[in-house]
Amino acid sequence: MKAVEAHPLAICRFRPDEGGTVSSSLRVGLAPLSGHMRSKAYVEVTQVAVPYKAIEKLLLDGQEDAGVTEMSRRRLLAGEGFGLEDQGQITKAANIHPRSVGGNKRVTKTARAAYLCAGNHLLKVAYFNATPAPHTETANLPALLTANVLERFNGVLEPERLVDGVVNLTGELPIKGIGTRIRDFDTVNSDSYKESGETAPRQVTGWQVGDGHGNNSVILEQDPDDLDFPLIRADLDGVGELTFRDMMASQKLDGLIQKFAQMIKADPVNGEEAVERALYGIKVDYDHNCQVLYRKVHELTAVHQRPMDGASINDVSAHFELNSAFTSLVPVSELGLQLVTIVSVKLLESLTHQPDPAQT
């Protein structure tokens, strides 16, 4: 594979209503480079789910009903598929086994179209006004070698969790109602009573006091900052965070459930069937956009080796190799989809100086 191409490593077809988890493993080895390699190599692995409607919209470019679910279903039932085409660079790179038709090697046209749809989707995400590849393209697409300004400064294109009223729920909360006292406990004169979270110089009522002759003891952790106070906390680690958008989504889900309950209550005979039809409508593919299921940039460090013998025994060569395995969740699609795995080698990019905000 070339460093300037988005190499289609695999193109896997999923039939309608098929989905689940897919485990992928890959090994990428770059050609040895002569001499010392000070910089690192970057290999980007991307997995994109391309629905059938996206493929149809690309191949039927200009047709008004292209990508419409009902019209796509009618064309499929009528046998108006896309058929086969000659084997090309894309299908060869994806290791798609052809079938012989009249002595010519033929492959499905949807595999090449799925790769083009995935490449166009990644191109539009990285660049605002990018020109997509046409449906007649037969060569591998160029790799996205450059990063936008936000990515270079670790920015994000949709910082909704940073500005959408995010509330961090992790942390520790003091718990009241557990107290200690150095001398004997007195429920009447408890002026030096130490309660977790605050000092409570007041009379304590409604408490049970042991006589000190029991078989069990209560052991409390001391606060390292103030040894007189107990350290009793409610651990909230793992709770995560909550945004205003999460609250709105929960409110919409609750309203949807209430509407379904009203539909069943208004029509006890046919209400459940109406709800099932509504749920099926939610499951139907509502758009022809692709989904990025996995994306990661691997950083490779060169391993320098010397020849064992010969005239070039003092020469050094740099070797790069990547072994990776990952699992992605494939959504269920009504008309089926293609799972496209793309691998590209990225060049080393760095900013020599941070630009002055006043000058940019």
Q: 305 vs 155, which has greater pLDDT?
A: 305
**What pLDDT does 110 receive?**
92
Would you say 243 and 159 are in contact if contact means Cβ atoms under 8 Å apart?
no
Question: How far is the C-alpha of 45 from the C-alpha of 49, rounded, in Å?
Answer: 14
Q: How far apart are the first and last CA of the chain?
A: 37
**What pLDDT does 154 receive?**
54
Q: Once rounded to an integer, what is the mean pLDDT over residues 166-183?
A: 64
**What pLDDT does 166 receive?**
64
Structure tokens given for 195: 């309660």
Q: Is the pLDDT of residue 146 over 60?
A: no
264-295 per-position pLDDT tens digit:
889 888 888 888 877 766 655 556 788 888 98
Q: 183 vs 309, which has greater pLDDT?
A: 309
Q: Once rounded to an integer, what is the mean pLDDT over residues 9-16?
A: 90
Question: How far is the C-alpha of 9 from the C-alpha of 46, rounded, in Å?
Answer: 10
**What pLDDT does 360 receive?**
46
Strands 194-195 and 198-199: antiparallel
Q: Is the pLDDT of residue 101 over 50?
A: yes
Please state, for a pLDDT cut of 90, what percent of the chain lies above it: 9
Q: Is 53 exposed, middle or buried (0-12, 13-18, 19+ CB in 10 A)?
A: buried
37-75 per-position pLDDT tens digit:
777 888 889 999 999 989 998 998 878 888 777 788 888
Q: Is the pLDDT of residue 113 over 90?
A: yes
339 confidence band (pLDDT: 50, 70, 90)? very high
**What pLDDT does 178 receive?**
64
Alpha helices in 25-99 (DSSP H): 52-59, 69-77, 89-93
Residues 6 or more apart whose Cβ sits within 8 Å of residue 137: 116
Question: How far is the C-alpha of 210 from the C-alpha of 95, rounded, in Å?
Answer: 78
**What pLDDT does 82 receive?**
87
Q: Is the pLDDT of residue 321 over 70?
A: yes
For the chain, the domains span 7-164+287-346, 172-208+216-235, 241-276
Longest pairwise C-alpha distance within the chain: 103
- What's the whole-number average pLDDT of the chain? 76
Q: Is the pLDDT of residue 148 over 60?
A: no
What 3-state DSSP class applies to 120?
helix
- Which of 149-153, 164-168, 222-226 shows the highest mean pLDDT? 222-226
